[in-house]
Chains A and B, each alone.
Chain A
Amino acid sequence: MSDKPPSEVTVTINGVEVEARPGEMLIAAADRAGVHIPRFCYHERMSSVGMCRMCLVDIDTGRGPMLQPSCMAPVSEGMVVDTESEDTKRAQEGILEFLLVNHPLDCPVCDKGGECPLQDQTMAYGPGESRFVEEKRHFEKPIPISDLVHLDRERCILCDRCTRFADEIAGDPLIQFTERGNSMQVLTFPDEPFNSYFSGNTVQICPVGALTAAPYRFKARPWDLEQVESTCTTCSVGCRVAVESSRNELVRYLGVDVESVNHGWLCDKGRFDYEAINSDERLISPLVRDNQDRHQLLGTDWGSALARAAEAIQQAGPQRVGIIGGSRLTNEDAYAWAKLARVVIGTDNVDAQLGDGLPAEVVLSLPPATIADACDADTVLIVGPDLKEELPILHLRLRVAATKGQTKVIEIGPIATGAEPYAQRSIRCRSGEAAKTLTALLEGDDPLGNQLRDGSVVVVLGRASMAESATPALDVASVIRDRLPHATFLPALRRGNVRGALDMGLAPGILPGRTTIDHPSESLTSRWQTFPKKAGLDTTAMLQAVVAGQLDTLILLGADPLHDFPDRTLAAEAFQHAQTVIAIDNFVTESVGQADVVMPSTAYGEQGGTTTNIEGRISRLTQKITPPSSTRDDWMIAAELAWRLGGDIGLSSREEIWREIEQVAPSHAGVTIDRICAPETHEGILVQGSSIELSLPTPQEPPVVDGYGLRLVSGRKLWDAGTGVSHSPSLQHLAEESMLRVHPSDLHRLGVSSGAAVRVISTRTTETLLAVADDTILRGTAVLPFNQPGSRANRFIDATALVNDIRIETL
């Protein structure tokens, strides 16, 4: 045996010695060595199946060369490989001829034509002509297997990629091979479509045009597409994505495989919500409230809109202005607004979160973890939202890691989540009682307690329900800091660049670079000179202040509090009381519709810059299309407002903004534009440092639900009534009308039959909803998804309460 360290083995590929990792498959080693072995079924993120036989190569392990599939051949010391031998070439030609036997040559009308592995490999390795004269297999083509994916079984080469993805990665084995042999075909069960949140990935990995995406079908030819690499900001996971356009219109996103984040996968919302950007309903002109008819917004020019906004800000005075939102913005935009607020307006009333997250100072000071840390941790503890619904690719990464045995997942929460099927244990507790449940687990003799104490732990922490305040989550953090001091955290925050917005100081008391207003960095004070010295209000407090007459002007930075703030009553009252509401957005949302001044901003794909994901990973956003001419970048709006307010934020380009961020934000020092733009950092640059000291409140005992009440749990769903989904024609019908779900015994106790309309009473409102029995719901709990068409759960929620209880009555 060789005396080499066991960390690598040497194999000879086409006469060249190549270092390979023990246990890796030959095809992967060859890929890294730059030797391409053709393949159809092999996919580096899924298990090998050796089905297509395209990757057969001559492998000699001492017993003479033998044709073996390189996707199933682990490298071994001294292995000699010939990928260009006569036998290999003959096999490749033969396999391609076989694959084409039943493949319809409808390439001219196939979405895949021009970027088709079967086409390309036939060109490179194929026989050039077919000797097959019989009738090809025929199937009805194509058939929709879900709302988003169509299947053409004639084109399918049965490589098992989509079916393997559905089972192995997504955990939604809703498509499967059916029949046998020459009749084999991929199908769903009758009337059970492939409704997976990840279905679009199957289209991307299909090596032929068998699977096509409904939103993209016949929209473009691959050779007309222009592509740039960017980062998805649909949620805060920050998946790398290739953005493609044709004739200045976004037509497709593809997942880009980066090791640290998404492994090439995207959720369907992230993949298809580009439709919203192309939407005719986009806000493309500034609007102002009609003085004659207060119900109307009238088109205006930028000058008038900016002047009116500046006037309202000036009239209010610094302490009476508040800025809500900003997590839709890029880091640069967020910084410009943070600076505008502090330096020019003079207010610290800024909050990128909509009362549905965790306090910024906690987010920025918890011991940080990465997604990879979580996937390699002995235990991942999830206390927060249903990741499958809200941070889908984080869910996917954890699911794959857990099913491979790399990590064990424990979740504590009030409802059944997407993690349940792969969790080592799902502990159900009443909303607000997670800390108590965790304490009991750690104090008892449950072996999970030891597992958590003795091994590495990553906590995914967030708010499980929009109907509970941040306190229960903070209490969990306290328990963990106290009893599991080695644990690190991944915050489960809502909305795309929320982490970046907090980093840039769009939170009360927080300054750019993860510092607080009490301890500003020198570099910042020297640059900013004047800024408020006292922490301002968060979103809830701002809305309350408006109602109390203490705040006059509200600025909505891509925020729709009427839909997204947990407490619609409070938001609506604030809107009524506000002197002026200024909204900057891509769409006229319900909240924007109530504003006095509306300014259209550029949207995703129309602007460059950077974004930061929940890990603190900074990655590039790339502009792909030219924005509608009358829209402006958010930072520009800030700069112009500053000018109208008689000030100056001193920023005139994105590059300049980043240079300033790099100088004033201590955590971001050294993260230069050059580094961000370097090809080797396309996965992003992880920035974990923070100068904020962690401080957590003493845990509180949650109130007891009274005998007639039900604790309300309201989580978000992937498909909801949010702007991205509701303005994407292919997605908008996917959100389901939601109903109040209650355990059957609770319904029975209340004398309500499943499916009946009931009166739902909370401290905020009384409304009629349909109630259905669901035995997966904890007794004493009622579940109503947030922001679904038809039922606005936030009508029932009091944002100031620790938890919210409701009562239901028969009509």
Chain B
Amino acid sequence: MTEMGGTPIPHAPGFVANDTPRIVTARFDYEDSHTLERYEATGGYRGLRKALERTPEEVQTQVRDATLLGRGGAGFPAGVKWGFCPPGVWPRYLVVNGDESEPGTYKDRLLMELDPHQLIEGCLIACYAVGLSQCFLYIRGEMAVAQERVARALNDAYSAGYIGKNILDTEFSVDIILHWGAGAYVVGEETALIESLEGNRGMPRLKPPYFPASIGLYGQPTIVNNVETLSNLPWILEHGVEAFTGIGTESSPGTRMVAVSGHVQRPGVYEIVNGTTTFRDLLYSKEMCGGIRDDNQLKAFVPGGGSAPWFTADQLDLPFEASQVGPQGSMLGSGAIMVMDETTDIPAAALTLTKFYAHESCGKCVPCREGGTWLEQILRRVVDGRGTPRDLELLIEVGETICPGDFPHAAIPSKGIEAVPFPYRMTTICFVGPSAFAPIHSALTLFREEFEAKVAGNENRTMIEVAVDVR
């Protein structure tokens, strides 16, 4: 193994510290980073105090000026989202999206486990700035440790006067209610999250009209923000907008957390500079992942969570900048990179993702409910060597009922194929259905020969034979 830079932290498995500026992971080095004592000793709740010295309007302006992009997947600026609440409609609510479950994504859990007070402080700043009357902190059900750490932090912060009535002896009062999910990926979608919080089946609502900022929880204006997004707020308030926008680029300032998993030398969660860091920096620098495992060749990588179209080595020099990644056919999504080296069975890898999204379909809309499972069934028989060349076309045709028109994909310079830019069109209510198709489309577009190899020899199999076989 090559000599690696960066510092893995034993009490924070997965996290690797490196020498980029650390905004949200600064306290991870301390073993007691999750305690109120450590938090207060390291500048904790100073951002809140600063916020309370200003008017809510000033705080909101500050956040808008910071161009803090949402870290949940869509990358929409938080300050702008806050401004979508219709004037004069009260009460408004804050729902914290801690239902991190996008394949490959792994950062909100660390932030909740290792620095819960930072998240709480972020929630309080948001509530203060936007006039949110109650905050619901929705943590994924399968994260028992995060629930414990946040519960303890909330209890301590309540006792210390940071949450509840007359916070820090001001007229600002808000409760933060801890809430757990119960195992449903789709609930990470913000309207499904709201449904779930209302005690319903977590099925997404249609946008329009159900944009949460105008019609959200109980039909009231509701801000849904991601854990990492909110965790940035204390730092921005404490250090100022300029300090924040001084890091990264103008359109993508600050840092972001990225989890790199799969076939790299050192998988890990990294806090990287937004906008300038490239995939090559992340995957190959010694500070970070240190290259592909066993000095193998990179075959492909998923750049932004399981639903993102795939990239290959041809896209390694793209930076973490949405305006550059989108036109090249994918998205940055939730900051999750899954790396496949040359040994990877591409159709099988695609199947793991398609299976995931088919399984996680909520069942509300037909294309996702029926199409996702059907895609999985076709792909499975191809992977198992029982498919026919016709099935490769069928995969695309079934996918096109879910996502009509050209589906985004990366360029293949060697074949003279240009990229189809993100986003896709869809016949579904939310992105879960298209996400079942995305890996299939990417894999088939970029590595068609691997699929052809799987069905080779089956050219003359009839549909009846296939049918008998699959049953």
State if A and B touch, Cβ cutoff 8 Å: yes
The answer, among A134, A157, A177, for a CB contact under 8 Å with B201, is A177
B427–A51 CB distance below 8 A: no
B470–A98 CB distance below 8 A: no
B206–A72 CB distance below 8 A: yes
A180–B429 CB distance below 8 A: no
Given the complex of chains A and B, what is the CA–CA distance between A731 and B372 in angstroms? 43
Per-residue contact bits, chain B 364-380, to A (CB 8 Å; 1 contact, 0 not): 11110111111001000
Q: Identify the stretch in A88-96, A424-432, A587-595 within 8 Å (CB) of chain B at 4 or more residues.
A: A88-96
The answer, among B360, B394, B405, B427, for a CB contact under 8 Å with A94, is B427
Asked whether any CB of chain A lies closer than 8 Å to the CB of B428, the reply is yes
B365–A53 CB distance below 8 A: yes
Given the complex of chains A and B, what is the CA–CA distance between A57 and B393 in angstroms? 25
> Using Cβ atoms and an 8 Å threshold, which residues of chain B touch A54?
366
Asked whether any CB of chain B lies closer than 8 Å to the CB of A710, the reply is no
Which residue of B is nearest A182, CB measured? Answer: B373
A134–B372 CB distance below 8 A: no
Asked whether any CB of chain B lies closer than 8 Å to the CB of A135, the reply is yes
> Using Cβ atoms and an 8 Å threshold, which residues of chain A touch B359?
181
Which residue of A is nearest B364, CB measured? Answer: A51
> Using Cβ atoms and an 8 Å threshold, which residues of chain A touch B361?
180-182
- Known A-B contacts A133-B470, A181-B360; the reply to A51 vs B365 at CB < 8 A is yes
Q: Which parts of A218-247 form the interface with B (CB within 8 Å)?
A: none
> Using Cβ atoms and an 8 Å threshold, which residues of chain A touch B466?
133
> Using Cβ atoms and an 8 Å threshold, which residues of chain B touch A135?
470-471
Given the complex of chains A and B, what is the CA–CA distance between A177 and B363 in angstroms? 10
The answer, among A67, A74, A90, A95, for a CB contact under 8 Å with B366, is A95
Centre residue among A72, A74, A87, A182 by max chain B CB count within 10 A: A182
A102–B370 CB distance below 8 A: yes
Asked whether any CB of chain A lies closer than 8 Å to the CB of B4, the reply is no
CB distance from A84 to the nearest CB of B (A): 15
Given the complex of chains A and B, what is the CA–CA distance between A50 and B206 in angstroms? 7
- Known A-B contacts A180-B361, A181-B369; the reply to A66 vs B429 at CB < 8 A is no
> Using Cβ atoms and an 8 Å threshold, which residues of chain A touch B471?
134-135
Q: Which parts of A85-142 form the interface with B (CB within 8 Å)?
A: 87, 90-91, 94-95, 97-99, 101-102, 131-135
CB distance from B403 to the nearest CB of A (A): 10
A98–B404 CB distance below 8 A: no
The answer, among B184, B363, B365, B374, for a CB contact under 8 Å with A50, is B365
B363–A94 CB distance below 8 A: no
Per-residue contact bits, chain A 59-93, to B (CB 8 Å; 1 contact, 0 not): 00000001101001010000000000001001100
Asked whether any CB of chain A lies closer than 8 Å to the CB of B190, the reply is no
Which residue of A is nearest B204, CB measured? Answer: A50
Per-residue contact bits, chain B 385-414, to A (CB 8 Å; 1 contact, 0 not): 000000000100100110011000000000
B201–A95 CB distance below 8 A: no
The answer, among A50, A56, A98, A133, for a CB contact under 8 Å with B370, is A98
Given the complex of chains A and B, what is the CA–CA distance between A74 and B184 in angstroms? 31
> Using Cβ atoms and an 8 Å threshold, which residues of chain A touch B397?
131
Given the complex of chains A and B, what is the CA–CA distance between A141 and B414 in angstroms? 55
Which residue of B is nearest A184, CB measured? Answer: B363
> Using Cβ atoms and an 8 Å threshold, which residues of chain A touch B467?
133-134
CB distance from B388 to the nearest CB of A (A): 10
Asked whether any CB of chain B lies closer than 8 Å to the CB of A307, the reply is no
> Using Cβ atoms and an 8 Å threshold, which residues of chain B touch A98?
366-367, 369-371, 374, 401
Given the complex of chains A and B, what is the CA–CA distance between A74 and B367 in angstroms? 22
A53–B428 CB distance below 8 A: yes
The answer, among B184, B425, B428, B463, for a CB contact under 8 Å with A180, is B184
> Using Cβ atoms and an 8 Å threshold, which residues of chain A touch B362?
180-181
Asked whether any CB of chain A lies closer than 8 Å to the CB of B129, the reply is no
Per-residue contact bits, chain A 174-211, to B (CB 8 Å; 1 contact, 0 not): 00010111111000000000000000000000000000
Asked whether any CB of chain B lies closer than 8 Å to the CB of A158, the reply is yes
Given the complex of chains A and B, what is the CA–CA distance between A101 and B366 in angstroms? 11
- Known A-B contacts A50-B206, A53-B428, A98-B401; the reply to A134 vs B470 at CB < 8 A is yes
Centre residue among B363, B372, B405, B466 by max chain A CB count within 10 A: B363
> Using Cβ atoms and an 8 Å threshold, which residues of chain B touch A50?
206, 365, 429
The answer, among A49, A95, A133, for a CB contact under 8 Å with B367, is A95
- Known A-B contacts A66-B425, A133-B467, A177-B201; the reply to A87 vs B369 at CB < 8 A is no
Q: Which parts of B421-470 form the interface with A (CB within 8 Å)?
A: 425, 427-429, 463-464, 466-467, 470
Asked whether any CB of chain B lies closer than 8 Å to the CB of A52, the reply is yes
A94–B470 CB distance below 8 A: no
- Known A-B contacts A98-B367, A102-B370, A132-B374; the reply to A91 vs B428 at CB < 8 A is no
> Using Cβ atoms and an 8 Å threshold, which residues of chain A touch B425?
66-67
Asked whether any CB of chain A lies closer than 8 Å to the CB of B36, the reply is no
The answer, among A72, A91, A131, A184, for a CB contact under 8 Å with B369, is A184
- Known A-B contacts A102-B370, A184-B363; the reply to A133 vs B429 at CB < 8 A is no
Which residue of A is nearest B390, CB measured? Answer: A131
CB distance from A136 to the nearest CB of B (A): 10
Which residue of A is nearest B360, CB measured? Answer: A181
CB distance from A770 to the nearest CB of B (A): 38
Centre residue among A67, A98, A99, A134 by max chain B CB count within 10 A: A98
Given the complex of chains A and B, what is the CA–CA distance between A135 and B467 in angstroms? 8
> Using Cβ atoms and an 8 Å threshold, which residues of chain A touch B367?
53, 94-95, 98
Q: Which parts of B101-155 form the interface with A (CB within 8 Å)?
A: none
Given the complex of chains A and B, what is the CA–CA distance between A296 and B320 in angstroms? 97
Given the complex of chains A and B, what is the CA–CA distance between A184 and B428 in angstroms? 17
Given the complex of chains A and B, what is the CA–CA distance between A51 and B433 in angstroms? 13
B401–A97 CB distance below 8 A: yes
- Known A-B contacts A133-B466, A134-B470, A180-B184; the reply to A158 vs B404 at CB < 8 A is no
B400–A94 CB distance below 8 A: yes
Given the complex of chains A and B, what is the CA–CA distance between A69 and B373 in angstroms? 22
Asked whether any CB of chain A lies closer than 8 Å to the CB of B358, the reply is yes
Given the complex of chains A and B, what is the CA–CA distance between A91 and B206 in angstroms? 18
CB distance from B215 to the nearest CB of A (A): 13
> Using Cβ atoms and an 8 Å threshold, which residues of chain B touch A182?
358, 361, 363, 369-370, 372-373
> Using Cβ atoms and an 8 Å threshold, which residues of chain A touch B369?
98, 158, 181-182, 184
A95–B374 CB distance below 8 A: no
> Using Cβ atoms and an 8 Å threshold, which residues of chain A touch B429?
50-51
> Using Cβ atoms and an 8 Å threshold, which residues of chain A touch B208?
72
Centre residue among B401, B425, B464, B466 by max chain A CB count within 10 A: B401
Which residue of A is nearest B201, CB measured? Answer: A177
Given the complex of chains A and B, what is the CA–CA distance between A53 and B206 in angstroms? 12
A95–B358 CB distance below 8 A: no
> Using Cβ atoms and an 8 Å threshold, which residues of chain B touch A51?
364-366, 429
> Using Cβ atoms and an 8 Å threshold, which residues of chain A touch B358?
181-182
CB distance from A299 to the nearest CB of B (A): 61
> Using Cβ atoms and an 8 Å threshold, which residues of chain A touch B463?
131, 133
Given the complex of chains A and B, what is the CA–CA distance between A636 and B367 in angstroms? 61
Given the complex of chains A and B, what is the CA–CA distance between A49 and B471 in angstroms? 35
> Using Cβ atoms and an 8 Å threshold, which residues of chain A touch B464?
133
Which residue of B is nearest A54, CB measured? Answer: B366
A91–B370 CB distance below 8 A: no
Given the complex of chains A and B, what is the CA–CA distance between A182 and B362 in angstroms? 8
> Using Cβ atoms and an 8 Å threshold, which residues of chain B touch A158?
363, 366, 369
21 chain-A/chain-B pairs, Cβ below 8 angstroms: A50-B206, A50-B365, A50-B429, A51-B366, A52-B366, A53-B367, A67-B427, A90-B400, A91-B401, A91-B427, A94-B427, A98-B369, A98-B371, A98-B374, A131-B397, A132-B374, A134-B471, A158-B369, A180-B362, A181-B359, A182-B370
Top 10 nearest A-B pairs (CB, nearest first) are: A94-B401, A184-B363, A133-B467, A98-B370, A181-B361, A182-B373, A181-B363, A50-B206, A101-B370, A134-B377
Enumerate chain B interface residues (CB-CB to A < 8 A).
184, 201, 206, 208-209, 358-367, 369-374, 377, 394, 397, 400-401, 404-405, 425, 427-429, 463-464, 466-467, 470-471
Given contacts A50-B206, A180-B361, A181-B360, 17 further A-B contacts (CB under 8 A): A51-B364, A67-B425, A74-B209, A87-B405, A94-B400, A95-B367, A131-B463, A133-B463, A133-B464, A133-B470, A134-B377, A135-B470, A158-B363, A179-B363, A180-B201, A181-B363, A182-B369
